[in-house]
Structure 1
């Protein structure tokens, strides 16, 4: 998933043009350029050959931002367990970085200062690179990088949540897409000490609403060892049911809920729809390892729950 996001982001940036900046260079030259480095010229005794060491600034693409992007792509291609299509696409965009040098991932300085209007599009890309290198890169033994098979569950859950949220914001501007708090539907107006309910995503078309709770777990179901039965994770069902019933304050049935799991390697893949107390509660899985068109189709199909 990270490699796919990185590819699409870099491809968009290539269309805009790679970031360029003035880069300090030091070279031994016959013709004067920039500022003479007298100290180095004396040390190297370049005047014997009628040359001078010159310091000069040159506008180019070999900036810190581009070096981080290229280094991350190279790292993924060498050591990442990524799909063939993603590997092919990353190799394509790598061709546009021919004038950019790589940097040791362990020595990257992530303190790049504030982004400005000329490089603001790099912010998301650099954050993805940070996730890949800091989240996946574990040790360096014998010159070989060791990669995790997964990020920290909390990091991945947060990334998954934001991915789905911003997908709907970008691809479905006709909808109201927000992540916010849901008030308890208390009868007497007293909600002291009640825990706050914060939804991951709320989609609304003006008359109906869909509350989406994203889940990135290693397991999407639970098994009762005593009886050998498999069920949906009870706490997740209680949570989405509570969100829906409290959001539908007028009991119209126009509020639906969706538990959207990231697909795992489990044999059982939840794909169920329920009508509970007049509201539709659905449980679906999103295959992040599939083709992008299929991922897009799955996300777009959830809009039907608003009808």
Structure 2
């Protein structure tokens, strides 16, 4: 199986390389040539390369707060503990101190995820064997319950920047499945991460245009914007915010792209198929309010669905109150060069570039 649903596994790697630019570093370049049978082997391959590189550099050490009863003062004296020792006639001082250790939160996450992947037979045998050879280097590091990880609590800087990609992949593995624990055993069940793929798809579209077009074409911008409501009285109380997935702009033209990742791209009612009504209402509201805000600029909108295997796929263009709104699908089940051609074609069609 070289696909996850309607997406080539290799295309998930390419999309991730735009979402996580560190995947383009030389240490990961060989992954582009490797075949991946499933999603597990893809993520295991990324971790294998990243961890191998990090082991050569040395595992990141961080300070951990500790409290111990000691014969001599180290760090800061903890008075409640020290007084308790005195009351028990113990000639010890309770001290709080920081100790530099490899047994920190990020290395614990790495070890636990690697251990689970080594046991998971959905990862190809050779890759599991290579991951297993890396585990002894984590011997002094504790295993943890991955459900308790505070992913947003990690802070990255110059000394641990390599971990940013590793933690992102671990997070995808953990949050893309529902962890179960039974009698001390931890394992990753069937991987199901449609919500994560939806976010990856959205960020991929945004970063593709930022990375491929902003440097090449002066004046071209790609970003996720907030659109203000065009109000007569200025009363915004309880109105929902309008946050675009992707807004492309150049000169006097604006294109609002709304990324959609569904199992079914059309809705069905009484055997009749139509566009998802809430999606059409949403893109219409975005376009009309942005057009009112921008005055003389030409504003258009597009619903860009990730293509499914349905027989009927959305491919239409509408003129609504003076604005162009289109619905298209992007086939993620084809060679990435075809995906690139489609995205470049959108830029050429709307802005005359690409």
What is the number of residues matched between the two proteins? 266
**Is residue 229 from structure 1 mapped to residue 279 from structure 2 by the alignment?**
no
Output aligned runs, 1:1-150, within 5 Å: 4=13, 5=16, 9-10=22-23, 12=25, 14=27, 18=54, 19-21=57-59, 107=145, 110=149, 113-139=154-180, 145-150=187-192
Contact 2:111 2:135 in 1 (8 A): no
Give, in angstroms, the shift of residue 222 of structure 1: 0.6
CA–CA distance in 1 between the matches of 2:121 and 2:291? 45
Change (3 A) 1:304 1:272: farther
CA–CA distance in 1 between the matches of 2:111 and 2:348? 40
Change (3 A) 1:105 1:266: farther
Give, in angstroms, the shift of residue 163 of structure 1: 2.6
Change (3 A) 1:125 1:3: farther
**Is residue 180 from structure 1 mapped to residue 225 from structure 2 by the alignment?**
yes
Q: TM-score under structure 1 normalisation?
A: 0.65
Q: Deviations over 1:85-136 (max 9, x none)?
A: xx8xx89x97996986699986558568432113224314412321212322
Contact 1:137 1:147 in 2 (8 A): yes
Contact 1:221 1:232 in 2 (8 A): yes
Match of 1:54 in 2: none
Gaps of 5+ in 2: 1-8, 29-49, 62-101
Match of 1:50 in 2: none
CA–CA distance in 2 between the matches of 1:252 and 1:22? 54
Match of 2:261 in 1: 216
**Is residue 195 from structure 1 mapped to residue 245 from structure 2 by the alignment?**
no
Root-mean-square deviation over aligned CA pairs: 4.5
Give, in angstroms, the shift of residue 248 of structure 1: 1.3
Give, in angstroms, the shift of residue 206 of structure 1: 2.4
Match of 1:32 in 2: none
Gaps of 5+ in 1: 24-59
SS of 2:310's equivalent? Answer: coil
Give, in angstroms, the shift of residue 246 of structure 1: 1.5
SS of 1:136's equivalent? Answer: coil
Match of 1:243 in 2: 286
Contact 2:266 2:275 in 1 (8 A): yes
Match of 2:336 in 1: 292
Q: TM-score under structure 2 normalisation?
A: 0.58
**Whose relative contact order is higher, 1 or 2, with alpha carbons under 8 Å and at least 6 apart?**
2
Give, in angstroms, the shift of residue 149 of structure 1: 4.5
Give, in angstroms, the shift of residue 237 of structure 1: 0.7
Contact 2:304 2:327 in 1 (8 A): yes
Give, in angstroms, the shift of residue 78 of structure 1: 7.5
CA–CA distance in 1 between the matches of 2:143 and 2:334? 28
